[in-house]
Structure formats: C-alpha cells, structure tokens
Structure 1
Amino acid sequence: MKFRHTAANSQDNSQSLSGFRASVRDYTLAIPLLAILLIVTLIVALIWMTSRDNQSETEKKLTTDALWVEQYLRFQLQTFETELRDLGADIERDPQQKDTIRTKAQHLVSIHSEFIDISWFTPDGQLLESAPPGLNVIADYKPALAEHSRLFGKPVYSSPRHTSEGWVVDMVAPVYNNNRSAGTIWVIISLDRLLSRNVPWWVAGKYQVSLTDSGGDPLISKSSIMPTNDQARHTISFDPPLTGTYITVTPYQSRAAIGPIVISAAIIGLTILVIINLWMAYRQNRRRAAAEHALRTEYAFRQAMENSLTIGMRARDRDGRIIYVNPEFCRMVGYEEKQLIGMMPPHPYWAPEIMSEGIQRQNDMRSTGIAPREFETRFIRPDGKLIDIQVYEAPLIDADGTHIGWMGSLVDVTEKKKLEEARQTEAEKLQHNARLITMGEMASTLAHELNQPLAAITSYATGSLNLLQSGTVQPVDLTGALQKLSDQAQRAGTIVHRVHDFVRKRSVTPEQHDLRKILQDAASFVSSDIIKGGGHIDMRLPDMPVAVRADAVLIQQVLLNLIRNAREAAIGLPRNRQKLHISLESDEHEAVITITDHGHGIPEGMENEIFTPFISSKSEGMGMGLPICRSILESHKGRLWLLATPDTQGASFCLSLPLSTQEIAQ
C-alpha cells in the first residue's frame, strides 16, 4: 500500500510538472506573439498617420490648384474685356470705319479661339456688323443686359446658355460716341474652348476641371475621364463674372508610391508569417502536450488493466526468450518477473512430461510462420503443484510490421478440468442408474414380450409330441409347426438380445442412425401390450430416412419411457381413449417426435414441475423418468418439452434432435 501511494503521488507530481512546463511553453510563445502584434500595431499606426498627412497635403494642393485655375480664368476674361474695350474705343474714334472695325474684330476671333462671334448692335438693338459674317450662332440680344453694361460702363456677362456650339456666355461692352451711347459690342465666348485653352496640361493631368451650375451638375469639363475620388473635389464660385456658375476641380485616383507599399507589404507579410509560425508552434506544443498526457494516461490504463487481468500474459521473441510477463502469469507459475525476463527455453515451469513436447512446439513456431495457434499444456510450480494451462498464441508484430515474436494468453484450466471430469463421472452414473431403473421397469414388459413366444413354443412342441406319439404322422406334417416354433424362439432371443445390449451400455457413443428405425424399435417393445389392452398406436413416419447422430439405445430408452407413460395414462379408460398418436417430422435443422395420448393428462399446476427430479404425477412413481430423459436429450444437443393441448384430455410430449449432415445408405 505504501508503494502504491508513493507511485500515485509520483504520478500526480509528474502530471503537475508537465502542466507547469506546458504553461511555461505557452507563456514563452505568448511573449514574441505580443511583440509581433505590437510591431504590427506600430506599422499600421505609421501607415495611417502617413496616409492622413498625405491626404492633408493632397487637399491643400487641391485647394491651391483650384484657386490658380480660378484666378487664371478670371485673368483670361479680364484680358478679353480689355481687348473688347480697345475695340469699343476704335469705334468711338471713328464709327464710320466699319471695314477697319470688322477687320480688327475678325483678327480678335482668329487669335482667340474662345471667341465664336463679335457683333455690334445699335442702342435700339439693330445689328450693324458681325464677325465672322454669316455665322448661325449670333448674340441673343437682351435689352436688359445692354442697359446693364451702359449703366456700369464696363463689360458684363450673361448666364451660360446652350447652343449648337455647346455652352456659351455673352460678354457685352458699351460703345460711346462723343459721350453718347453708340450701342453695344456682343462677344459670344465658348466655355468649352475657354477651359481647353486656359487649363494647363499639368492641371488637366491631375484633375478634372468643370464648370457647374448651382445644383452641382456639370456644364462642361476639361477631361472626359470620370474621376474616381468624388469625395475630394473642391468647388469655387465663378460668380462674378459668370452668374450662377462654379469651378469644380476633382482629382483623379492618384497612384500610390510603389516603394512604401512594397516595404509595408513585405513587413506585414513577414509579420503574418512569424505569427503563423508561432501559432503553428503553439498548436504543435499543445498537441505534443496532449499526446504526452494521452500517452501517460494510456500507459497508466494499460498498466492497471494488465495488473487486474486474471489471464496470464507472456511475450516471447522468435528464439523463445521471454520479453514480457504480467503479474497474473508470475502468480500462475510461481516465479517473479525479474527471474522470468530473458529466460530461454526449456523453462523451469514446464512439467517434466511435456519438456520434449514444449521444445518441439517452440521449433515448430519458429519455422511455420505467423499463424495463431491454440494448445493445452501443463506447468509445474516451485512447490511441485501441477496445473493445466490453456494457451492461445498469436504473432507479435512491431510498428514496422515485422514479426518479432509471440504473445501468449494463458488460462489456468485445472479446476475446470476437474469439474468436467466430475460432471462426466456423474453423468455416467446417472445414465447407468437410469438404465438400471429402466431395466427394472422393463422387466414386466419383457415378461409380456417373452410370454407370447414361449407360450407359442410350448403349444407347438406339445402338438408335435402328440402327433409323434400317435404314430400316424408324416414328417411333412411337422414341418410347418416346427418352423413356427423356430420363429418364436428367434423372436424371444431377439428380445433378450436387446435387453442385454441395453444393460451393458455404459457411455454415450453417437453413431449415424435413421430416427425412424429407432422409433419403430422402441414402439415394438410395448405395441403388443397396448394392443392386448384394447388400444392401438397411430404412427406417422416420413418416407425418407431421418439421419441423426445419437446413441440408439439411450434414445430408445427415452422413447420407451415416454410411450410407456402414455400407455399407463390411458389404462382403464374407454377404448376410444386408448389410442396413441406418434409422429415424426423434420425441417432443415432438426427432427421432432410428438407422442400424444388421450389419458388423464397432467394435473393442473404441475406443468412446470414434471421435469423436476423426485416430482411425479404417479402415486408410485419416483419422479426420475422425465428428468433422466431430458438429461439424455440435452447430452445429444436436443430438447424435451410438454406441448400445450387445446383440450384438457391427454398430454403431448415433444422431443427434438439435430439432424446429421451425412446421408444414410439405403
């Protein structure tokens, strides 16, 4: 008990130490994992801060570029206003020089592609000149706009309008002659050309520049490419000079710098690989710890199982050397484990009478392959006690599939064999006593059987002597009588021979028999007595032989006992109830004989007790007949039972025997 307690404590300490080591391993893996996560967090924060700074710088740059575009377009329109004032001044100096004015207007149209048309209207709105002439798109004269330009004394602009030339705007400048109004000059400016000529390429390469209305819908755009970053647009009011018009600058999706992205991706990728590696190492350590724990648990379980086995376990290598024994084997042979491990045959626990047999068996096992085998042997303990052992040998295969020896399971069958021998002795005594009992009960039947042939012999002998004494008989007259006398003598001898065979039987010797013949022989013992009593036997047998392996005399004893019981149950009853029904049927597995009488039947309440020894429904019965019959049938792997009958008159007994696979020669 002290050793077991110490071992248990040691195992608990080992498990605790293993748990502590597993915890240490977990923390060891957690520290670099936390460090990696911290590095990743710092990298993400750095990227975010850099991105935020870049976004702020981009927004600042967008605002600056948008203001530059707005200022440049205003400057260009101011340039147009100056040139238009110069043209008005020329008209004021000499209004009659229309050709010169027309030429200068055409020159302005040619050098400024933004100008679609330059027209000169009188104060009352009449068109005087237009350059270039014949243009379909002309100024949409609005008196209010002309009056507005004269009132302020400078160029004014209309709202953008859509024409066949696209979106345009009218710029109106007043013309004076001797400080009196000489009309207005109207210039149609193409907004599309204004943007295309005055937005530089370095701006157009980064932004989409659009003129939009007050609702944000674009009128014209510098580029047809749709921007992908609508959230970063910047809008500046272009009113004045253009009423209800805005300049909207929207950046395209800029390409990020490849270098920082590659470096960041590489760092993140390496970080992910390190995390994956740490996670795999963590899982591997967890699996290893679980496997170690499972191995310890499995080893402890197998050790406890082997120690609790009541079967001896012994492993030997191919040379017969003992490499493993369990405690039960040591207890069985009386030697300690350290004495047995490494021991070569012949082993000291082999009984002297099986020494050569054991050596021969070891040589056979070494040379005949790895087929399992079973055999019985005998061991001797150090105190000289002999024990019978049942051995089951199986091949011992290692992890590589190599046959390295044999594993034997050994069972002590000494007590079992003693019990079997005692049971066999008791069975033989029971069968012998049953034969003696049956022989005594058959004595009266034998007297009835012999009485008829002996009486016939006496009658034929007396008649023959009387004829011989008369002196008148011929030899041919005595032939028939003497032949009948011989037949009766043979019949009497057959009856005596059957009884002699039955009495000298001592053990069960199964042989191949036709069950029909056994049944007919058994019925012949009592048939004459039944007929004399006024009854008869109705026997139904199959046409084909019914093959069984049985001791014919013992089965005849059973049938004779059952038929005699049926006959005795009907004694004293009317003739219609003196009938016995005997049938033989068979299926694929067994044959069944049913014996039915119409006698008094089994008393109520005794149906389950009639097969119990010393319980009988007869007043003078010993109560051993049916138990003996059942024991005989069970020794033949058969059965005997009482069949329930629908009426209360009579009883039916059934017995079964397994069919033999061999056929009976006809």
Structure 2
Amino acid sequence: MQTSNQELEKKDAKSAQSIAAPVRWWRSWWRSLSPTRQDRYAALAPLASVLMFMAAIIASFWYLRTEEVDREHEALRRDVEYAQQRVRLRLLERQEQLMRMARDIGTRDVRKADFDGRSEALISQFPELQSITWINDKRQILHSQSAPTVSTDQLRVVGETLHPGQTLQAYEQAREMLQPIYVQEKVQPNELPPLLQLHVPISNNSRYQGELLAEFSVDSLLRYGTPTEVLARYAITMLDGDRHVLAGTPLSPRKTPTELLHWRALANEYEVPVSPVGNSLMMRAQAYQTSLGVVGSGLFWLVGTLSTMTAWLLLATWRHTRRRQRAQEALVAETNFRRAMENSVLTGMRALDLQGRITYVNAAFCQMTGWTEKDLVGQVPPYSYWPDNDYDNLHSQLREELSGKTIVGGFQVRVKRKNGSLFDARLYVSPLIDAHGQHTGWMSSMTDITEPNRIREQLSASYERFTIVLEALDASVSVAPLGSAELLFANKLYRQWFGSHTEGHLQLVAQAGKLPLRQQPAAENEDGLMGLPTGTLTETRSENAEIFVPSLGKWLEVRSRYLSWVDGRLAQMVIATDITQRRNAEDQAAQQAEKAQTASRLITMGEMASSVAHELNQPLTAISNYSSGMLTRLENGTLTPDQMRFALEKTSHQAQRAGQIIQRIRSFVKKSEPNRMLADVSQMISEALELAGIELRRRNVQLTSHIAERMPPLMVDAILIEQVLINLMKNSAESIDMSDRPLGQRNVELRVRPQLFENHQGVEFTVEDTGKGLPPEVLEHLFEAFFSTKSEGMGIGLNLCRSIVESHHGRMRAENLYNGSEVTGCRFSFWLPLATGVETTTLTTTSEPIKRTIA
C-alpha cells in the first residue's frame, strides 16, 4: 500500500514538474522583454481575438456561398448537357436521312424530280433544315431546294461553282475522307449569321461522284432542338469558334457588391461544344439572377459591424499607448546608437593602466581573440591571448610600451585565439589622457593582417609560377615598348633563338608586317604620331601571320597585340610558335591530294575503258571500210577523182574524230600541277560531256544538258571540275543501270545556271538522274572517305569531288527526288563562286539556256 502511494506521489510530482517547466519558461521570457514590448504584446492579444472571430465569420460565409455556387453550377451543367444531347440527336437523325438520299443518288436511283420531292419533304417537315444542294464532282451545283425563309444572299444558284472559302475547304475534305463533314462558318461584320453546313459525300463503289450540301438554321435548331424547360430556366445561345453569337439572346454581364470576385457570374454560365459539329459550334447557357441567399442575412452584417467597431477601438487604444512610449524609446535609441558606434569599429581597441592591467576592450578585440570582455578585463601580463612561445618577446615589447617608447608605424605580433589558433596582427600604441590632462594609461589598436600577408605570399608564389610556365613554353614570348630598343620581357626559348637583345623581336614584327606605321597621314581612327588605333587596347584584336626565318631555318606562326605595361607604357607582345612540322605536313597532304585526284581520273578512265574502246572502234572501222573500198575500185579501174576526194575526206574526218577522243582522254588523265585560271564554263561542260557521253551511250542512258547563255568565267582548275562532272554523270548512269529503269526513263539531266549562295554570286551545277536514289543512312555518310555503296567501289570518288569543290571555295550537296512518297531519282549539285573582279551583270542578262541531248 505504501509502495503504491509512493508511486502515485512520484507521478504527481512528475506531472507538476512537466506543467511547471513551461510556466517557468513563459515567465522568464516575459520578464526578459522590455516594458515597451510587454505593452505591445498585451495590446495585440484582444486585437488578435477579434480578428480571429471576424475570420471565422468570413470563413463560414465563404463556405456556405461556395456550396450554393457549386449546386447552381452542377444543375446548370447537367441541364446544358441534356440540351446538347437533344440537339445532337436531332442533327444525327437529319444526317442519317441525308446519307440515305446520298446513297440512292450514288446508285442512280434518284433523279431530279425525286430529289426535289424528297428535299422539299425534308425541308417542310424539319424547320431547322433550310436548304439541300446537289453538287457534282466538279464543284458545280446541279440541283438545290431551299426553304422560303432563306435570304436571297444565301441561296445556291444551279450551275454555279463553289467559291473559295470554308465551304470549298469542307467540300475538299469530304471528298478526301468520304465522310460527312460539319462546318460552321464564322460571322462576318454587317452580314447575316451563316448557316450550319453538313457535307455528305456521294460515292459509288468508293468512287467520289459529288456531295449533298445541307444547311441548317442555327436559330431554328436552338428553338426546336432545345427542351422548353431548359429554355425557361436559362438564356441559351449558340456561338461560333470565335465566340460570336449565332442564335439566342445573351444576358448582359452583371456585377453586384455581394458577388465577391464575380463568383456568381462565373458559376451561372456554362459552355459545351455541340456534337457532332465540334468546337466551331458552342452552346452556352446563362442562369437568370436569383435571390442573394445567405448574403442578405442581417445577423451576418450585425456581427461584422460589431467586430469592426471593436477592432477600431482596440487600434485607437494601441495608438494612444504608443504615443506615451516614444520618450522612453528615444532614450533607448540614443543609448543603442552610442553602443553601436563603439561596436562598429573593425579595429580592436584595448586600454591598459599604468601597471599594465587591461581596463577596457571593445567588441572587435573580443571577436579577434575569441575571449569575452569579462575574461579579458582585469588581466595582467602574461595575457591569455599571448602565444606560449612568445612570452619573452612580448614582455620586452610591453615594458617598452609602458615606458613610453612607442613606434610610430606600429609593430607586428602574433596573437593566440581562445581556440588555440594564431593570427598575425599589427599593434599601434598611444598614450591615454583623461579630461584633466593626466596620463592614466595606454590605448592600443590592433588590426588583423593575416589576410594581407597571405595575399602577399600568394602573389609572390603566383609570380614564380607564371615565370616557370612562360620559361617552359614551346613558344617564344617577348615584350618590347614602342619606339624603344629596350626588351621588357623574354622567355627561355626567345633567348635561345635570338639572345637577350631586341633585334629578334623587331625582326619578327617587321617580317610579319606588324610594325606601327609612322610618318604617314593620320586617318580618322588612328593617332597621327604613333600610327596606332585611337580606341582602347581592349578593342584591338590580336594578329597572326606565318613567316619563314632563314637564320633559324624554321616556319614560325607570329601573333602580336598591344598591351599596357606595368609602368603605363604602351608595349607590343609577340608570340612566335614553331610550325615547321605542320607546314611540312600540309605540303605532304597537298601532294597526296594531287596524287589522289590523278588516281581517281585514271580509275574513272579504267572503268570507262570498254566504252572508250567501243567509241574508238566506230571511226577506225569507218577508216578501214573507206580504204578497202578505194582499193577495190582502184583495182577495177572505176575510181574517179571525185570519189577518191569524197572517200579521203570521210577518212580524214573519222581519223580526226578518233584523234580528238584520244586527245580528250590524254588531257583528262595527264598528271599536272593544279592550275587555276579563268575558264569558260561552256567549253568546260563540252569537254566533260564528250567523255561522259561515251559511258552513258554504252549504258543506253540519254544525257540532256541545259546551260545558260553568256555564263561568266570561273577562276578554277578546269580539269578538276571536269573530273567532278564526269564522276557525277557516271555515277548517275550506274544508278540508272542498277535500278533497271525502262528505256523511256533512263535520263540524266545536267543544268548549269547562275545562282546566289549566302549573298555571294556564283554558278550552280546540277546533275539529276532517274535512278533508285539513296537510302537515308547512306546520305549521312555519303561524302566520307572510303565509304561506297558499290561492291567494287573504293569510296574515294565523292569524297574527292567534295574536296575539289571546297578547295575552290564552293559547296556540294545531294538529295533524293520524290513523287509523293516514291523515290524517283537523285540530284547532286555543287556551287562555285565567281572569279574576283568579274562583272556581275552577266548573271541578270542571260537569255534562253542552251539545250543539248546526247542519245
């Protein structure tokens, strides 16, 4: 029994302690507040209670009003959905009747008399149906029946053709889909509301024969399709896609003071699209104004008025209390201002008496050392912020300080923080004189100089690293002032190449053509004395040039720019990089490209060897036949001089033809240095067609060329451009041959015409074929080296062609030709710029192009 009583007493003690702890905390917090804050919190309590009461009343009103609005909106939405469903069923019934009529017309079971009778019956039976029009597949109106209420502007005249507009667009859409299409045209200003159109296609065995155009009155559809009970409760209107009223009378927007944020206007309006028309025809319902409900309750306004008056009285009392506290606040502000001034000083202040005892420290001194004012005031040497290893040195300095031997510039010491870390500080000492002029102690100011020392060390280390990096560069770096022979800076590689003199710097500048111009007339943006830009140095760009230095036997890439030296003088920095290996590699690459071009021409002629042999066989056979005929007639004695002259002329012509073919081949495959000169486009195309035509004739491919007249000359290597054209035409012939096109579709077309590319004038060469085209995955890698679509191809032809075109500053591209989704061929085109100085008027004065066909 005693044990249970003890346990109950312990539980009661614990519960009392748990209650007493928050009470004690509340009392301590309240006592820690200033009287001003206590008065302020005491005045806020009744004000907060009144505001909470008002908030509860407003929340209750808000909730009740929301419930009421939700109920009205749900009823409105349900009625509108019901009305829309009735209109939808009415439209679908008319659609089914029209589809049956269209089916009968498609099977030719309905003639004009039958069409007029059935149309008139439908229009008279259903008042919303205004007209039915029969349109053939050529957009011509064959027959039309309309209601008497249709205006003359909306009548369909027999024999007319549909005009462009939404009606024609819906006609074309119904023709493509072979499905009924609803269209609601937009309302035009100063015109009658348009009719709702239904386009029903007429087809027979999936073959389009025309359509039936039925037009509905939106107003009649609203009056006869909407239930009367819905029309009695709401203002129903029909809108088009742009929210223009087609039928019905909308309610004007209303705003009442009790409808917060216009909730009622939002809750009492609902729109829904009319199916199956879609969003182009909308049904909108607006509820008529009802009673105010809970808003008109007098109790609510009474409670709100009393709450407002109570809050106003409390605010007035609080303002009166504030006025009485201003004098006390002014006194506290003055005290805080003086203390803030003392604590805002970033320099640590320490006061010592004549015996060396600390009498005062400011907040900055405490923050630096980590010790509090209570810990430091009253200490005598050794102080707690002295490092253990510096006692002797600091004692000596303190004795000198107390004896009056002060240093004007201060002295540097190490100070220990409370956590044991050290920092560097500079200490300044001055005597402390009281109001009576008596020397009462010493005032010391301490500044933390750890960060400046660290920055100074980092700058020194950064300079050392900068020097090491410049000395280890593989480029020569030198800086010299303008107009002086002094060398401000030179790294290790510069000293190895040119020594420690300025001659190497000036040699690089002069040979690269970057010496400042002097003794020349000053331009508008140049200084007449220095020949330099008058803008800031940051606006000037660095320049670079590649030069050969005979003394070093090296190619150097020289970069130069102006900079402002540390002493303010204008200097020029020159960076020279050894690019001898790169230049050698570029020369070797140029030689390899030239060899690749020659090899490509030899490969092309090797592939065309059989065609060339066949082409040469014709003139040689003719020469043999003419010679045998002359010998036979000579033996028979029947050879006359005229016959001999005729045979010898023919023989000479065939021999010249064979010689021209061989000369073309020799000039094409002959290895020669790249030679760019002004080349005539027509002559270049003619020579390319001469060689390419041999291959095309062998493959039974017809070649057609279109060349614009008076083409401007091009600064190109004619042999290389002929190589590109021959390769493209040969590839086109191979593509046609591989696609097994019939004889009438084996065509290659070459077009040459002036063309602008990126605002530059030039000439475009286009080769089109009727082959099978290129797959998408091939187009991505078409111009890559060693990529080929032919089993025996080497993959260097098109890559070399693009390299040749780009070396002439041109562009090359390839694309497939389509007829719908079917690939009907491929087009290769490349563009070459005009030669500099060529008259551009030739681009605009061309006449009809020259057309040649090689069968």
The bucket for the TM-score relative to the shorter chain is 0.3 to 0.5
Instruction: Provide the TM-score with structure 2 as the length reference.
Output: 0.37
Structure with larger Rg: 1
- Structure with the greater relative contact order (CA < 8 A, sep ≥ 6): 1 or 2? 1
Normalised TM-score (structure 1): 0.47
